[in-house]
Structure formats: C-alpha cells, structure tokens
Amino acid sequence: MRKIIHIDMDAFFASIEQRDRPELRGRPVVVGGSPERRGVVSTCSYEARVFGLHSAMPMKTALRLCPQAVLLDVDMKKYRRESAKIREIFHRYTDLVEPVSIDEAYLDVTENRFRESSATKLARAIQREIFAATGLTASAGVSYNKFLAKIASDARKPAGLTVIPPEKALAYLDTLPVGKFHGIGRVSAAKLTGMNIRTGHELRQLDAVTLKALFGKTGLFYYNIVRGIDNRPVEVKEEPKSVGHEITLAEDCTNMRALRIMMRQLSHRVAHRLQAKNLAGKTVTVKVRYENFETVTRSFSAPAPVCDGMEIGEIALALAAKTEWATRPIRLLGVTVGNFVDPGADPGFEQLLLPFA
C-alpha cells in the first residue's frame, strides 16, 4: 500500500508578499492583474478570503467585495525562486515528486531516503523544513492514494496536517459534502445536490451504471473515489511540449456565433492551464474536425510568447477562419499552445503571466 503526501502551500503568492512586507501582515492582500485590464485574482490572503474572495475571481469583483484590499502585481521571478527552494526540500525525502503547480505537489514516500515508515512524521518534517527555509506555511495531507491525500491537505488550512488511514477513509468520505470532493466540479456538485445527494454517503448509494448514465466516464471516477479508490501513481513528469484543450460537440454545429464562443472558451481554458504551470508559448494551433471526421489544423507562431486567454482567442479565431468551419458542420474544436519559451531567456515573460496559485 502506498504512502502519499500532498503538500499545498498556503495562499502562496500573498503569503510571500506578507512575509516580505511586514506592514501587510493581518491585512487583506490580493495578488493579480489590474482591474482596468480585466485582471483576475491569482492568490489572496486568508484575511481577504473572509470577504468571499478566491483565485480566478475578476479583480473588479474582488475589489467590490473588499474595497480595502491591498492589490499587488504578480512577481513571478520571486515566486518561482521560492518554489524551487521548496521542491529541493521535497527531493531530500524522495525522488517520486509530482508537481501539480507552482505551489503544490504529491510525494510518494512509501520508500524514502530516511527509511522512515511513518508518512505522518515525514509530512511534519517537510512542513518544518519549508518554514525554516522560506518562512512560509504549508498544509499537508497523508493517505494511501493521491485523491485522499489531496482531500486531506484541504481539510485544515492553513498550516494543517490531516491523515486519512485506510480504515477511516470511508467514514471520512461519508460526511464530506460532494462539493468538497476533489474532481467533482461545481456543475456536477449542483446536479447531485439537485438529486438530494449532498454527502459522500449518499453518493455511494448510486451504482456504477447510474453514475455513468448521469456523468459519462467521469461517473466511473466518482464511483471509485467515493469508495476511496484511486490507483494513479505519483508520476515524475517531463516538461510538457504543449498545453491544449478540445471539445467534441454532442451534435454537429453550423452556428458561427456558437462556434466562436466555444473557441474563445477553449482559449481561456488553455490560458488557465498555462498560467497554472507558469508557461507561455509562441505557437498557437487550432484543430477543426468536420462532420465526416476529416480533421485539419492551422498554426501560427507569434513573435512573443502568449498565455493570455483573450490573445490566444484572437489568434485561434483568425486561424479557424483559414479552415472551412464557416461552410461545413463541425463536430470538434481544439486549441493548443506550444513552443514554450524559457522564462529566463525572455525579459518580457514576467509581464505575460497571470498565474493561478
């Protein structure tokens, strides 16, 4: 049985700023883009979250909810430097480290450098080392798989440590609201709540056939996680060559307004993924599949790297205009950004990023 630790830094960007600027401690701090440029919240301090602020919220909304918030620009160079220190600490314990984003990672400590049998002791040690090296707090979750470790790290923020052993997993999940299940999004959670399914216990009463009928393949994922089943290994991943998203339409579409909206939505999803991974690329590619399954792609390489959803969307629409999407029924659309630029090699890279952490 695996021993997995999930480490999640607490309000990472905002905590770094409060550490470096003592006058901001105890105040609502919001790190993100300018409200005049349709900026969004990247991270906000726990003092700001009391007012309902959260990551990815439009900055205008955030400032309306909390006018006294201190708004700070993103300083990616500084945040990446702190992230690198934290990852060095992870690798002192195990080679099996899977970064999820700049501020969180899974660690498989089943076998570890200290030959320590207690993952709980290792998690506490990692938290102490992070604080000693950076002055920042991290929350930790310990369990026998990635899903439960992630659930556990969210349970007692900030600076918490939660352990879910195998014999207590079902009891823990039974009382957990479905909206707290990592992997069940807001739309699915609302659908379940509308069926009077509000907790893990109630969700577990639905069989696999019913869940698949309601949610497709994702329903089988729900069937497993509500039973504490997650066989995904902690993977040491290579740097991605590209980041993309595509959608297969339920019915072939010829409505150009709807297709343009979908293309923009895809572009924003790709942008969110890029920003979460602190990436920007010069090449945008669109994929268009017609009703007869014929698939075409069109690409454009920009002079500067892109990671903004609106900019990616404009390029994607221009590329789509070079296909036959205006004259033929469409069954699939996709947007991909690749040809990533090394942040250290591009002096303008810092201004491009509005990451979510």
d(CA 253, CA 275): 30
Query: Has residue 109 got a pLDDT over 80?
Result: yes
d(CA 102, CA 76): 10
**Which tens digits make up the pLDDT trace of 319-357?**
999 999 999 999 999 999 999 875 444 444 344 343 333
Which spans in the chain are helix H? 12-20, 46-49, 59-65, 76-93, 119-134, 146-153, 169-174, 186-194, 200-203, 208-215, 217-225, 256-276, 309-320, 349-352
Is 331 strand, coil or helix?
strand
- pLDDT, the chain, mean: 91
pTM: 0.72
Confidence grade of residue 241 (pLDDT, cut at 50, 70, 90): confident
Catalytic pick among 88, 104, 246, 294: 104
**Which tens digits make up the pLDDT trace of 173-229?**
999 999 999 989 889 999 999 999 999 999 999 999 999 999 999 999 999 999 999
Confidence grade of residue 33 (pLDDT, cut at 50, 70, 90): confident
Res 342: pLDDT: 57
d(CA 234, CA 339): 26
Confidence grade of residue 150 (pLDDT, cut at 50, 70, 90): very high
Res 347: pLDDT: 41
Mean pLDDT throughout 149-174? 97
d(CA 29, CA 50): 11
Is residue 104 flagged as an active site residue? yes
Res 357: pLDDT: 33
Quote the tokens at residue 7. 């480490």
Res 186: pLDDT: 87
Res 349: pLDDT: 38
**Which tens digits make up the pLDDT trace of 68-103?**
999 999 898 899 899 999 999 999 999 999 999 889
Give the contacts of 265 (CB within 8 A, at least 6 positions apart).
none
User: Which string of DSSP letters, residue by residue, matches 279-303?
Assistant: --EEEEEEEEEETTS-EEEEEEEEE
Query: Has residue 277 got a pLDDT over 80?
Result: no
d(CA 19, CA 5): 25
Instruction: Give the residue with greater pLDDT, 135 vs 348.
Output: 135
